[in-house]
Amino acid sequence: MNLGGFSYENGELFVEALSVSKIADAVPTPFYCYSASSIRNAYNLLRQKLASSRTSICFAVKANSNISVLRLLSELGSGMDIVSGGELERALAAGVEPSKIVFSGVGKTRAEISRALEVGIHQINVESPAELDAISDTARSLGRRAPIVFRVNPDVDARTHAKISTGKKGDKFGIAIDEIPGLYAKAVTSPELDVAGLAVHIGSQLLDLAPYRAAYERLASLTTKLRSHGHQVRRLDLGGGLGISYHFGAGPDLTEYAKIIEETFADLNCELTVEPGRWLVGPAGILVSEVLYVKNTGNMATAIVDAAMNDLMRPSLYGAVHPVLPARNVNKDASSAYQLVGPVCETSDVFGTYDALPELRSGDRVAFGCAGAYGASMASTYNSRDLVAEVLIDGDHFRIIRRRQTIGDLLALEAATPWQALRSCSDAKTAM
């Protein structure tokens, strides 16, 4: 079993050169912990596979938006794919050149478009005719030229979880293929628009590569068609979506993925970009948690841990199962079955049922694996639980890259209303 940057030595779980137990002695659980080498290795492997098609990489910031993670990837040469003004500010704060940032997303506000144009963003992916108008207006009023590509909805089934499929007719993303030629022809006549090409993104957690081939072939034939109408199509954004194995098995075949890109686009002579998120950072992160209590629910032993659905939403939102790695596991033949649940007051706050665990007791630590993508970035403060700390490990270096939020941070956002301050509760009720 290949655990990436994680390994067991004498029954102790290590992240690179540091033991999870030691880290947890210094950082209160729950916390996210990332392996820098895993991210580096993943990026370098993907870059190497894509080298012959000269495809560049823009990391999808939504997968893990901690600025230290963004800086790590940026220093390796990665650009960024963002979907909000907040992600733009994060990428800039991480030192990413605006000329390496691509702005995707189905509903960009005028304020976001304006900021993106002001900083000199590389590309805005247009998702609807109405958004095209907003981009034109904003560019005109700023006296700037907006570099755009059109996001195509290729009507291809990505064969992934329904909640993360984005390229089928009826999904809210992109523009139907037949609408593109008309829009393209209109856009190229607008001096405030620099129409660079096309984009596609059919979904996330793709384990089957056939849908990529189908979508890319549609993109390639649309490119040829637009060129036959006399248009320039110099840039193609091929989206993200590469899946990972959530049980430390082999993921999709990267060589095959690179081959599909090469075979489909070799003759078109376009600048090519991909936007992976999960594949680069998913396996590189764990969520470390402590067992609070163990109890019996029906005939199932249930361990209540201090991490919950607000820290890692994927199990309750998609039924995803993250592998559990005990921080200390001296018993190689461990075979106890537990349901692992969080303390949040929702029946869906369940991580899953695991049947090969050592016996768990209060105070034991467990890590949920493959949590580097869509873990911390999707966390919420539901039940007034703090956003947890994030830690980055690089060899034997250890750094808290986000401190844990405090209830003080949360309460500071709220303001008492003057009338509540002046009246008692019963006065307020009478006033209603």
Q: Give the residue with the Cβ less far from ligand LLP, 79 or 276.
A: 276
Active-site residue identified among 33, 270, 345, 425: 345
Shortest gap between Cβ of 137 and ligand LLP (angstroms)? 23
CA–CA distances in Å: residue 80 to residues 45, 70, 289 = 18, 8, 30
- Integer Cα distance of 351 and 372 in angstroms: 16
Instruction: Tell me how many helices (H) and strands (E) the chain has.
Output: 14, 21
CB 345, min distance to ligand LLP, A: 23
Q: What is the full DSSP assignment across 223-268?
A: HHHHHHTT----EEE----B---TTSS--S-HHHHHHHHHHHHGGG
Min CB(105)–ligand LLP separation in Å = 7
Binding site for ligand LLP (CB under 6 A): 60, 63, 81, 104, 164, 201, 204-205, 239-242, 275-279, 314, 318, 373-374, 378
Residues in the chain, how many? 432
Residues 6+ apart with CB under 8 A from 347: none
Closest distance of CB 11 from ligand LLP, Å: 31
Q: Alpha carbon of 120 to those of 105, 131, 232: distances in Å?
A: 18, 19, 22
Smallest distance from ligand LLP to CB 161, Å: 7
Nearer to ligand LLP, 90 or 201 (CB): 201
Pick 60 or 303: Cβ nearer ligand LLP: 60
Instruction: Decide if 270 is catalytic.
Output: no
DSSP β-ladder status, 31-35 and 55-60:
unpaired
Name the residue among 46, 42, 55 with its Cα closest to residue 263.
Answer: 55
Checking 221-226 for CB contacts under 8 A at 24+ apart, the result is 222/152, 222/177, 222/180, 222/198, 223/197, 223/198, 223/268, 223/270, 224/268, 225/181, 226/180, 226/181, 226/184, 226/198
- Which residue lies nearer to ligand LLP by CB, 81 or 349? 81
- Sign of the dihedral through C-alpha 369, 4, 46, 247: negative
Characterize the bridge pairing of strands 146-153 and 175-176: parallel
Q: Are 79 and 102 within 8 A, CB to CB?
A: yes
Say which residues have a Cβ less than 8 Å from residue 17's Cβ, sequence separation at least 6: 393, 395, 396
Cβ proximity to ligand LLP: between 235 and 314 the closer is 314
Q: How far is the CB of 120 from ligand LLP (least distance, A)?
A: 21
Q: Of the two residues 164 and 294, which places its CB atom closer to ligand LLP in the complex?
A: 164
Query: Catalytic positions, please?
Result: 345
